[in-house]
Structure 1
Amino acid sequence: MSNLIAQPPTAARRVRLWPRSPAFWFLAPAVFVLAAIGIYPTLLALYNSFHHYNLTDLASGTPFVGIDNYVATLTDPSFWGALGRTLLFLCLTLPIELALGLFAALLLHRQALPWMRAIARVSLVIPMATTYAVVGLIGRLIFNRQFGIVNWLLGLIGIAPLDWLGDPTLAFVSVMIMDIWQWTPFCTLILLAGLAMVPREVEEAARLDTSRWTMILWHQQRPFLLPGLTAILILRSADMLKMFDAVFTMTRGGPGTATEFISVYIQRIGFRLFDQGMASAQAVLLLILTIVLSRLYIRFIYREAA
């Protein structure tokens, strides 16, 4: 009789350790894979950042050097130059994408011509579905000095061909144009989803009260756009800070260092100079910067939405 009484607690403990819910077993493999490809590389980079780990000097091992890699990174002018170019790219490109995305979202939010809205929404997915490397190759062809379509169009109006990928300023602008082409549709879809949450009765009443679309946008639609705007800022800022594929395939970071963004610079340190310890320290600092920006967006923008 005592054995029968002792069994339920043991069974309860087994249930807590190994849940029988199908949802647990369906999600467990995905959680394990995400942890393997997300947490492990981060911990490995953090470990390497405190060690002297150069692939050309493995005979001396990987001794612990403390924060020497971080000090060397923070006193490296090239690192600050690459970070400055990245932040400049973010500050110039992201507002343009947001402005164009909001303009397109407001147009698609109108009730007229529903079949055109459906076609436009499907078309917006195409740039986002294009991989970064392909976007870089497309940009390399479009801005080619000899047979690029941009110089061909400029020639139609009497402008001489420009060396888009050979001039530092034009190369930077070329990368901006390709990023705007690829990710403005993402901003449009997110903001369009926010506009769809606005009650139709509220919008109709606001339009009866005023004909100024700016007043309607600021007072009626803005609260519903702020959560999506926060998501866009977080995702796009993180994406721009680690932007590599499109830039590398399009300009290789050149000419000179004109488009050598921080991820391209880290790649050069880690896989051209083979200093894995220094590259890991730079990657950790980039991760910290991304987290700080995300927290600022949530604190000052998402809090206003709440």
Structure 2
Amino acid sequence: MSSPAVRPLPPRRIPFVPRSPAFWFLAPAVLALAAIGVYPMLVALYNSFHHYNLTDLASGTPFVGLDNYIATLTDPSFWGALGRTLAFLLLTLPIELGLGLFAALLLHRQALPRVRAIARVSLVIPMATTYAVVGLIGRLVFNRQFGIANYLLGLFGVPPLDWLGDPTLAFVSVMIMDIWQWTPFCALILLAGLSMVPREVEEAARLETPRWSMIFWHQQRPYLLPGITAILILRSADMLKMFDAVFTMTRGGPGTATEFISIYIQRVGFRIFDQGMASAQAVLLLVLTIVLSRLYIRYVYREA
């Protein structure tokens, strides 16, 4: 009699380890996000409820509850920095959005594909420039002695201006550099939205009415609203945490003219060394960013 065939045992599966290839493709990104984003946020949240001063580590980090938040909300300097940041956002973001929309409409009406390709590549250059380099460029452009800004004004007979020494002009100079860097981003996002409009619909609308404002409002605007929402969310978050370009360009000065909220938090955390207070301020800034994002989605994106 022949011996019965021995059936091989199925391979042992390690518990809690998924076999899906998608899991292994996503795992590195999830781990990087947890290490870079989630863990520091949890540490900041923990520190915000504790007394944590780098100059007084001998006393430990005792739990203080909401004391850091109360001290932050009653700090006039915090509200001053937040007010300057919101003023910068309210003044700069509409200009970037308006100029970006104007550039997107011009490129959308341009029929030559080579011109559009060159324009798109040119728009990427400011976006690819790092914040610190933008700040250094700003220091050179608005230098009182040899900056190109005063040179151009001199062609019209305007005397040299102390751009980085005057509080108002320093604020305006930071606005100009931010507009230069991020208007192309708005233009590219809005151009992508315009490219989604069916060509047949635009041609039919042009036959019915010659008014471009009617075509824009009824045919193109619905396709632009998702992009506008994305621009509002991303640029608002960037402006609220804007640090590198401003610190490199003005160091927050003169005085506190360009001391935005991120620079103030850095000063509290790494010059006064009060990590607990700085963490509470960072958490409040995160809450403000989330609230603004929800408002944008509710009142802008819902119209799409």
TM-score, reference length from structure 2: 0.95
Q: Residues 155 and 111 of structure 1: is their aligned pair in 2 closer, same or farther, counting only changes over 3 Å?
A: closer
Residue 110 (structure 1) shift = 1.1
Q: Residues 111 and 171 of structure 1: is their aligned pair in 2 closer, same or farther, counting only changes over 3 Å?
A: closer
The answer for the alignment partner of 2:112 in structure 1 is: 113
Aligned counterparts of 1:125 and 1:238: Cα–Cα separation in 2: 20
Contiguous gaps of at least 5 residues in structure 1? 1-6
The answer for the alignment partner of 2:88 in structure 1 is: 89
Residue 15 (structure 1) shift = 8.2
Aligned counterparts of 1:45 and 1:76: Cα–Cα separation in 2: 19
The answer for the alignment partner of 2:271 in structure 1 is: 272
1:69 alignment partner AA: N
The answer for the alignment partner of 1:65 in structure 2 is: 64
The answer for the alignment partner of 2:227 in structure 1 is: 228
Aligned counterparts of 2:259 and 2:54: Cα–Cα separation in 1: 23
The answer for the alignment partner of 1:192 in structure 2 is: 191
The answer for the alignment partner of 2:157 in structure 1 is: 158
Residue 27 (structure 1) shift = 1.3
Contiguous gaps of at least 5 residues in structure 2? 1-8
Aligned counterparts of 1:181 and 1:16: Cα–Cα separation in 2: 54
The answer for the alignment partner of 2:259 in structure 1 is: 260
Aligned counterparts of 1:111 and 1:81: Cα–Cα separation in 2: 45
The answer for the alignment partner of 1:167 in structure 2 is: 166
Aligned counterparts of 1:176 and 1:289: Cα–Cα separation in 2: 21
Aligned counterparts of 1:157 and 1:304: Cα–Cα separation in 2: 46
Describe the SS at the equivalent of 1:161.
Answer: coil
Aligned counterparts of 1:181 and 1:152: Cα–Cα separation in 2: 19
The answer for the alignment partner of 2:18 in structure 1 is: 19
2:274 alignment partner AA: D
Aligned counterparts of 1:104 and 1:16: Cα–Cα separation in 2: 56
2:34 alignment partner AA: A
The answer for the alignment partner of 1:3 in structure 2 is: none
Aligned counterparts of 1:112 and 1:193: Cα–Cα separation in 2: 15
The answer for the alignment partner of 2:131 in structure 1 is: 132
Aligned counterparts of 1:50 and 1:24: Cα–Cα separation in 2: 36
| Offset from partner CA, 1:113-152 (integer Å, 9 cap, x none) | 2211110000000000000000000000000000000001
Residue 30 (structure 1) shift = 1.2
| Offset from partner CA, 1:156-197 (integer Å, 9 cap, x none) | 111100000000000000000000000000000000000000
| Offset from partner CA, 1:246-289 (integer Å, 9 cap, x none) | 00000000000000000000000000000000000000000000
1:123 alignment partner AA: S
Q: Aligned pair 1:219/2:221, yes or no?
A: no
Describe the SS at the equivalent of 2:34.
Answer: helix
Residue 33 (structure 1) shift = 1.0
Aligned counterparts of 1:37 and 1:51: Cα–Cα separation in 2: 22
The answer for the alignment partner of 2:202 in structure 1 is: 203
Describe the SS at the equivalent of 1:17.
Answer: coil
Residue 112 (structure 1) shift = 2.4
Aligned counterparts of 1:272 and 1:229: Cα–Cα separation in 2: 38
The answer for the alignment partner of 2:4 in structure 1 is: none
Structure 1 stretch displaced more, 72-81 or 14-23: 14-23
The answer for the alignment partner of 2:296 in structure 1 is: 297
| Offset from partner CA, 1:86-134 (integer Å, 9 cap, x none) | 0000000000000000000000001422211110000000000000000
Q: Aligned pair 1:42/2:38, yes or no?
A: no
The answer for the alignment partner of 2:179 in structure 1 is: 180
The answer for the alignment partner of 1:237 in structure 2 is: 236
Aligned counterparts of 2:71 and 2:203: Cα–Cα separation in 1: 60
| Offset from partner CA, 1:20-40 (integer Å, 9 cap, x none) | 222211210111111111110
Q: Residues 111 and 162 of structure 1: is their aligned pair in 2 closer, same or farther, counting only changes over 3 Å?
A: closer
Aligned counterparts of 1:42 and 1:221: Cα–Cα separation in 2: 39
Aligned counterparts of 2:117 and 2:41: Cα–Cα separation in 1: 41
Aligned counterparts of 1:124 and 1:63: Cα–Cα separation in 2: 51
Describe the SS at the equivalent of 1:205.
Answer: helix
CA RMSD of aligned residues (A): 1.4
| Offset from partner CA, 1:68-89 (integer Å, 9 cap, x none) | 0000000000000000000000
